[in-house]
Amino acid sequence: GQQVMQIPQYQHVQEGEDFTTYCNSSTTLSNIQWYKQRPGGHPVFLIQLVKSGEVKKQKRLTFQFGEAKKNSSLHITATQTTDVGTYFCAGDFGNEKLTFGTGTRLTIIP
Amino acid sequence: NAGVTQTPKFQVLKTGQSMTLQCAQDMNHNSMYWYRQDPGMGLRLIYYSASEGTTDKGEVPNGYNVSRLNKREFSLRLESAAPSQTSVYFCASKPGTGNYGYTFGSGTRLTVV
């Protein structure tokens, strides 16, 4: 089946350190989306990447889509306590439904 | 503008009981989805409705049924609840076909004992 693998499962960082989570698909994606879920909350849409090699930035967050449209990453520079939560990638294989990765739970050590 | 509203927020069922999870969106979206979230497994698609009048199975449809009552409402029914259906259920919607982000409801935490 169509799967999206995401690593790492957990990441603990000191406040101010950087954080990166990676997603990989075995087949080409139509687009990839990123979501953030705060503890006890629901997923919130962050961004969508559609083009091969696309890079988008939102303040301290940088999102990349691979040249082959099979992998993606989210990088947070200088983490803050407000960044705590689980980050999910979600791949669209062109069939109008998203397949979510298992998520990376980010905890911040003050 | 409430977005996606799910009811109830919490529910405890006994094995074999039935219930319907309700979802309504007020954004005039065409596509609606039901996901379940279990620890370490991300979100898995149960059923979806690409447009009013259509429904399709997702990755884990067994034990569930859905109804797209109208454009706003998409309900999920458990006919005979099992402990394996203990999970957090999220409803989501998007405007229609094409590249759009999903808007999620706040979820229903279901425990089957």
pLDDT tens, per residue, chain B with 113 residues: 689 999 999 999 999 999 999 999 999 999 999 999 998 788 999 999 999 989 999 999 999 999 998 999 999 999 999 999 999 999 999 998 778 899 999 999 999 99
Q: Which of residues 51-80 of B touch A (CB under 8 A)?
A: 58-59
CB-based contact A6 B40, cutoff 8 Å: no
Q: What is the DSSP letter of B97?
A: S
Interchain CB contact of A45 with B (< 8 Å): yes
CB contact under 8 A, B103 and A43: no
pLDDT of residue B85: 98
Give me the residues of chain A with pLDDT under 70, please: 1
| Chain-chain contact of A44 with B43 (C-beta, under 8 angstroms) | no
The Cα A64–Cα A37 span in angstroms is: 20
CA distance A15 to chain B (A): 25
Residue of B45, B58, B104 lying closest to A43 (CB–CB): B104
What is B14-73 written as a DSSP string? -TT--EEEEEEE-S--SEEEEEEE-TTS-EEEEEEESSTT--EE-S--TTEEEEE-SSSB
Beta strands at B31-37 and B43-49: parallel, antiparallel or unpaired: antiparallel
Query: So what's the pLDDT on residue B1?
Result: 66
Question: Are B40 and A102 inside 8 Å of each other by CB?
Answer: yes
Q: Do A45 and B105 touch (CB under 8 A)?
A: no
Task: Kindly report the nearest CA distance between residue B9 and chain A, in angstroms.
Answer: 12
Per-residue confidence (pLDDT) for residue B40, from 0 to 100: 79
